[in-house]
A and B are shown apart, each in its own frame.
Chain A
């Protein structure tokens, strides 16, 4: 194989695949959102804006706000739990650090469906949490957590917290701790040094983590499904239902397009605060 051939083949393979199976489908999704719901087929001409009219109906706007609220809450809880954790791991001694990090990577690899399922045994009414709380006399009656919004929240935090920890850790790992010493020498308190130096410098890691938690939190439809008993409807559940139950594909497409545009806005903002190699910062 000569140089030109190798060049052509290596560039063409990935370009063609990504165009055909990534860009093209997303464009079809955009077009579908402007089509009409047919009687014989899922999508029909003529072009119309009716899917968007429905999507901006109060019912669906409410779903968006509810999803933002719950996903935002998940993100904040993951940040509050994950930041101190990433910080402590980054400050640990070299040898211990590898081990600590390793135990964070394993949950990152395991199936979120299986982990959400594992939570059921803990939080169900006759489950272990209630068993322990009752036997330690902390509560008098078992708590009904499963199939409530709180169960969904616990499930989301549990499955997504490692997606918050890893980007923040990756950022803090490169941090020059002498900066903190310098600030301390100049008279800053520990807290002041932390909030004025460590937090701003790790902002790209925080933003990546928040993105990696917030987006799945809105769209992992199986977690509200199995832990919320299909009572807590988030954006992911609604889009999935438009496609598979209501069979309103234009509306489902329109909702996905709106979601994708929101993500695009977030990414533009992300590029603003993180001008360096954005892709590597995220992983």
Chain B
């Protein structure tokens, strides 16, 4: 009895979580512009997406920002996790606190704070403001992913390498880095996804000259449901789910 109850409950929750997404994907193949009901299968909306050159430019912008931001954030986050793990220095606890605050604080506050920063530096809003903002909100997440892995490593490895005469840089390149690769890639994927999906922070720090996908979707969605947007969202979901699956596969050893 309780077993059936728990199975029923789990199934209902998964239905709640997945039904809207599945419906969205199904309706991206729906052969009707307005209807909420099924009118047969078509690839039409995907064809239209790939023939919309302004949309392709926007997608390219998003791709460039996501690749650059996640790569730079991964470098900063990985170096930072190594530094905070290996060294004692002035302000270390404060830095931990700041990283933690950046994870918990709402995107809205981060977006406003960065807008005010760029405004006070007289920096025009566009590619660079977006890139700097995306790196900033990705760094703490890479840091946590990598730091979680680094504390689980065997410290004797580093000591052994040092005893054998390796410098800190050599220990980092030859020992820490290879052992951290799964976490580093997972952190990169998380950053890529967050950069690709971010609406709120980008909303404040982007300019009219450089549009990106989430903001394009946001402005389109305010006008209602269209099959093209369904198709676009389905493609983004495909990328995200692929990255989520791969990162879980990479991190599975840790759990």
Residue positions of A touching B, CB distance < 8 A? 1-3, 5-7, 9-11, 13-15, 17-19, 21-26, 28-29, 32, 42-43, 81, 84-85, 88-89, 98, 100, 102-115, 117-122, 124, 126-128, 131, 158, 161-162, 211-212, 215-216, 218-222, 225-226, 236, 239-240, 243, 249, 252-253, 256, 259-260, 263, 267, 278-280, 282-283
Contacts and interface: CB of A to CB of B under 8 A. Distances in A.
B80 interface: yes
B74 to A, nearest CB: 12
B221 A117 contact: yes
B237 interface: yes
Main secondary structure of the interface of A (DSSP, over half): helix
Given A22-B102, A29-B116, 9 more contacts: A2-B167, A13-B79, A110-B197, A115-B20, A121-B24, A121-B36, A236-B108, A279-B100, A282-B104
A210 B83 CA distance: 31
Given A1-B167, A6-B168, A7-B168, A118 B20 contact: yes
Contact of B104 (A84, A249, A267): A267
A117 B116 contact: no
Given A7-B83, A282-B103, A122 B19 contact: yes
Given A9-B79, A28-B113, A131-B36, A14 B21 contact: no
B57 interface: no
A106 to B, nearest CB: 5
B124 interface: no
Interface in B80-134: 80, 82-84, 86-87, 89, 91, 95-96, 98-110, 112-117, 119-120, 132-133
B36 A26 contact: no
A193 B24 CA distance: 43
Contacts of B82: 10
A22 B98 contact: yes
Given A21-B117, A22-B102, A226-B222, A7 B87 contact: yes
